[in-house]
Every structure is written in C-alpha cells, then in structure tokens.
C-alpha cells in the first residue's frame, strides 16, 4: 500500500500493518497512516486552472458592478423620462 505513509517515521523504514478494524497503521509507531498527498499537486493544478477561469470572470463581475453603479442613476432618469411621456 504505497498510497499511504506515516508522517512521523522516515519513508525508508516504514512497514505498514492493517489493524483488526481494517485501518492501516504504521508498523513502527502504530499511528494511523496518512494518504499520500499527490492529490495536492492536482489541487494546485485545479486551483491554477480555476483561477485562470475565475480571474477574468471576477474582473468581468467587477466591471459589470461598476457599470451598474454608473448606469443606475442614468436608468432612473431614463425611466423618469419614459414616465413623463
Ligand atoms: Zn510511523
């Protein structure tokens, strides 16, 4: 089970046991094993990809909000003008 590792012992001298409950533990210190964090690189990639997608979106949203704030008084005056007609 190379997917799991003990965070307290050096990886060279680790041997893994399975407890009676089916939990993987370290053979040296008896602590439950941690999942290897190669998911972290995926998470980093995911975060980078997400930020690459989200950054323009956020900028768009900021621009839209700014435009709305600018347009609101204009729209109100327009609607007032429409109401007058
Ligand atoms: Zn250990």
CA of residue 22 to ligand 1 center, whole Å: 17
Would you say the C-alpha torsion 59, 44, 23, 8 has a positive or negative sign? Answer: negative
For residue 82, how far is its CA from the centre of ligand 1 (angstroms)?
76
- What's the pLDDT tens digit per position in 59-75? 999 999 998 888 655 55
Distance between first and last Cα of the chain: 78
Reported in sequence order, the residue ranges of the chain that DSSP labels E, i.e. its strands, are 4-5, 16-18, 24-26, 34-35
pTM score:
0.37
| Domain range summary for the chain, segments of one domain joined by + | 4-35
CA 19–ligand 1 middle distance (angstroms): 14
Cα–ligand 1 centroid distance for 41 (angstroms): 24
- Please count the residues of the chain: 85
The SS3 call for residue 24 is strand
- Kindly state the average pLDDT of the residues 53-57: 90
pLDDT at 1: 41
Token pair in block for residue 21: 């409950």
- In the reported structure, the alpha carbon of residue 45 is separated from the centroid of ligand 1 by a whole-number distance in angstroms of 30
């Amino acid at each position: 089970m190379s997917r799991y590792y003990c965070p307290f012992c050096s990886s060279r001298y680790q041997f893994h046991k399975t407890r009676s409950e089916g939990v993987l533990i370290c053979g040296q210190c008896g602590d439950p094993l941690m999942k290897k964090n190669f998911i972290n690189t995926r998470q980093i990639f995911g975060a980078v990809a997400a930020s690459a997608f989200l950054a323009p979106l956020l900028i768009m949203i900021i621009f839209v909000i700014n435009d709305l704030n600018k347009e609101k008084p204009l729209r109100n005056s327009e609607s007032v003008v429409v109401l007058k007609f």
